[in-house]
Amino acid sequence: AVPTAVMVATGRGATFGILIKGGEALQRLEKIDTIVLDKTGTITAGRPQVTDVLLAGSESNSAAEDQMIRIAAALERASEHPLAEAVVRYAHERGLSLTQPEAFESLTGLGVVGMINGDVTLIGNAALMRKYSIASEALQAAALRLSEAGKTPLWIAVNGALEGMIAVADTVKPTSVQAIRQMHAEGLRVVMLTGDNDRTAGAIARMVGVDEVVAGVLPAGKVDSVKRLQAEGHVVAMVGDGVNDAPALAQADVGLTMANGADIAMEAGDVTLMRNDLIGVPMSIALSRGTMRVMR
Ligand code: ADP
Ligand code: MG
CATH number reported for the structural domain that contains residue 198 in this entry: 3.40.50.1000
Domain-ending residue, one of 145, 169, 193? 169
The residue range of the domain holding 103 is 49-169
Kindly give the distance from the C-alpha atom of residue 83 to the centroid of ligand 1, in angstroms, as a whole number.
Answer: 7
83, 152 in Cβ contact below 8 A? yes
Domain match, 100 and 36 both: no
Per-residue confidence (pLDDT) for residue 11, from 0 to 100: 94
Distance 65 CA to ligand 1 centre (A): 22
Q: Are residues 41 and 175 in the same domain?
A: yes
Question: Is the domain of 112 the same as that of 190?
Answer: no
Q: How many angstroms separate the CA atoms of 276 and 273, rounded?
A: 6
Residues 35 and 56 in one domain: no
* pLDDT tens-digit map of 47-61: 899 999 999 987 888
pLDDT of residue 1: 65
Last residue of a domain, one of 125, 140, 169: 169
- Which of the ligands is closest to the CA of residue 219? 1
Judge if the beta carbon of residue 196 lies within 6 A of ligand 1: yes
What residue ranges of the chain have pLDDT lower than 50?
Answer: none
For 35, 40, 152, 178, 283, the CA distances from 277, given in Å and listed in that order, are 14, 12, 22, 11, 12
Return the ligand 1 atom nearest residue 125 CA.
16
Q: What distance in angstroms lies between residue 118's CA and the mean position of ligand 1's atoms?
A: 25
Q: How far is CA 232 from CA 24, 33, 40, 119, 236, in A?
A: 23, 12, 26, 48, 11
Atom from ligand 1 closest to the CA of residue 84: 23
Sheet holding 103-107, edge to edge: 49-55, 161-169, 152-158, 119-124, 111-116, 103-107
Are 116 and 158 within one domain?
yes
- Report the predicted TM-score, pTM, of the whole model to 2 decimal places: 0.85
User: Which residue in 38, 245, 253, 277 is the catalytic one?
Assistant: 38
Q: Do 149 and 212 reside in the same domain of the chain?
A: no
**Atom number of ligand 1 nearest to Cα 38:** 3
Beta bridge partners of 84: none
Chosen domain end from 122, 143, 169: 169
**Domain co-membership, 184 together with 250:** yes
Q: Which of 44, 81, 113 to mutate to test the pocket of ligand 1 (most atoms within 8 A of CB)?
A: 81
Domain match, 95 and 127 both? yes
Q: How far apart are CA 114 and CA 185, in angstroms?
A: 48
Q: Are residues 136 and 188 in the same domain?
A: no
CATH number for the domain including 116?
3.40.1110.10
Q: Give the number of domains in the chain.
A: 2
| 107 plus 57 within the same structural domain | yes
Contacts of 46 (CB under 8 A, 6+ apart): 40, 82, 170, 241
Considering the domain architecture, whether residues 108 and 155 belong to the same structural domain is answered as yes
Say yes or no: 144 and 210 in one domain.
Answer: no
Pocket test for ligand 1, best of 79, 83, 139 (most atoms within 8 A of CB): 83
